[in-house]
Amino acid sequence: MTANPASISKPRRWGRRGGRAGEELAAALRWISNVHRPNGLPNVCIVSAPRSGSTWLLELVLSQPGFKPCNEPFNLRKPAVVRRLGLSRWSELNDSVHLPTMKAYLESFLDNRYSAAFKGLRPGLAHYRFVTHRIAFKILFALEHRLDWLAETLNARLVLLIRHPLPVALSRTSLPRLDAFFESEYRGFLSAGQLRLAEDVLRRGDPLERAVLDWCLQYAVPLERFRDRFLLVTYEQLVLRPDPALDALAEHLVLDDVELMRARISRPSGSVTKSNAETVGFLQGRKNNDDRQWLIDKWRPRVPQDRERSLMRFVNDFGIDVYRSGESAPADAYWI
């Protein structure tokens, strides 16, 4: 019934798809296949936890003219990221001593220097454009406690995408950052009460409880400290009632054509292959597309009610009130 995440994940081997030489060649081809000319409008930065719909939201933004994607530039499971960034431990991404290194790394994207984090930049791919003017960043593995710094460094408008913690936790297969939250400056952004709750789960928690803790650690700080820096969008609203969310995204991110997003939202994202067969079938039209509620309720048979109550009590005690026990959708205050 529970997930089986581990605290540390192993890096990929160099030999995959031609190793380092092949990786460098692919990055070089992406670089020469694109001319980036900023037009003065802000970039876009989507901050989220894994398995929360961030690929889907990124693709909605990429429906707009002039964008190119920068996908997970701090994912240390990618050897090219480790090599170009010069950092290899998750805890290093949380410490201020490494901010100059991270700033220089992010500025390399803004300066249009090639990198493996740029995807979809080869002719023939869905989001390819030879000339681009803005960058859509997807940040999953860093800087939730420094969103002000991130927005200023990237000259970006921020979106915080959040999804109910239980389906996210159930779908996680590894928790590479969990220990790093406590082995770095990040712990200084947590209250004494939050630290006590977290340390108890670290000592005695099972895999699902630890995955829920990981979710809490990623969202508690931005929700408490940086609400004026981002637009909060829930995965559930994008599924159930997307139009107000798309209008808000278009206004906040200065997007040209909201109708392009409306046309794109009914299509599955590029990460649909990570979903189970039933979900893939739904997204491909084999299930009644009017029954959108199924997409946000489908995790419920895997979690008994008493277990859900216990886990959601922990989430609420951690200071996060976006979701409540017994409800798959966010609280009323978090709908756009």
DSSP 136-167: EEEE-SS-TT-HHHHHHHHTEEEEEEE--HHH
Whether 118 shows a pLDDT value over 90: the answer reads: no
Whether 326 shows a pLDDT value over 50: the answer reads: yes
3-class secondary-structure state, position 114: coil
d(CA 76, CA 93): 10
Q: Exposed/middle/buried for 228, CB within 10 Å: 0-12, 13-18, 19+?
A: exposed
**Which token pair is 131?**
């000339």
Cβ contacts of residue 151 below 8 Å, gap of 6+?
45, 157, 158, 229
Do residues 11 and 77 lie in contact, with contact meaning Cβ atoms separated by under 8 Å? yes
Per-residue pLDDT at 8:
34
Q: What is the mean pLDDT of residues 151-163?
A: 97
Q: Which of 48-62, 114-128, 249-263 has the lowest mean pLDDT?
A: 114-128
Q: Which residue has the higher pLDDT, 281 or 251?
A: 251
d(CA 251, CA 229): 15
Domain ranges of the chain: 21-334
d(CA 229, CA 83): 31
Whether 147 shows a pLDDT value over 60: the answer reads: yes
Q: What is the mean pLDDT of residues 274-290?
A: 50
Per-residue pLDDT at 195:
97
Per-residue pLDDT at 11:
37
Task: Work out the angle at residue 266's Cα, subtended by the Cα atoms of residues 261 and 267, and round it to the nearest 5 degrees.
Answer: 95
pLDDT band at 32 (very low <50, low <70, confident <90, very high): low
d(CA 163, CA 211): 14
Cβ contacts of residue 106 below 8 Å, gap of 6+?
73, 153, 154
pLDDT band at 265 (very low <50, low <70, confident <90, very high): confident
Q: What is the mean pLDDT of residues 216-224?
A: 97
pLDDT band at 246 (very low <50, low <70, confident <90, very high): very high
Do residues 219 and 144 lie in contact, with contact meaning Cβ atoms separated by under 8 Å? yes
Per-residue pLDDT at 286:
41
Per-residue pLDDT at 291:
78
Q: Exposed/middle/buried for 15, CB within 10 Å: 0-12, 13-18, 19+?
A: exposed
Do residues 294 and 282 lie in contact, with contact meaning Cβ atoms separated by under 8 Å? yes
d(CA 312, CA 335): 19
d(CA 270, CA 62): 12
Do residues 99 and 173 lie in contact, with contact meaning Cβ atoms separated by under 8 Å? no
Per-residue pLDDT at 10:
38
d(CA 305, CA 327): 11
d(CA 139, CA 179): 19
pLDDT band at 124 (very low <50, low <70, confident <90, very high): low
Cβ contacts of residue 233 below 8 Å, gap of 6+?
57, 159, 160, 161, 162, 245, 248, 249, 336
Whether 128 shows a pLDDT value over 80: the answer reads: no
CATH fold group of domain 21-334:
Rossmann fold (3.40.50)
Among 232, 139, 147, which Cα is nearest to 189's?
147
Residue with tokens 């800087």: 143
Per-residue pLDDT at 121:
54
pTM over 0.75? The answer is yes
Q: What long-range pairs does 238-247 form, CB within 8 A, spacing at least 24?
A: 238/53, 238/56, 238/57, 238/265, 239/292, 239/295, 239/296, 240/292, 240/293, 240/296, 240/329, 241/335, 244/335, 244/336, 245/336, 246/60
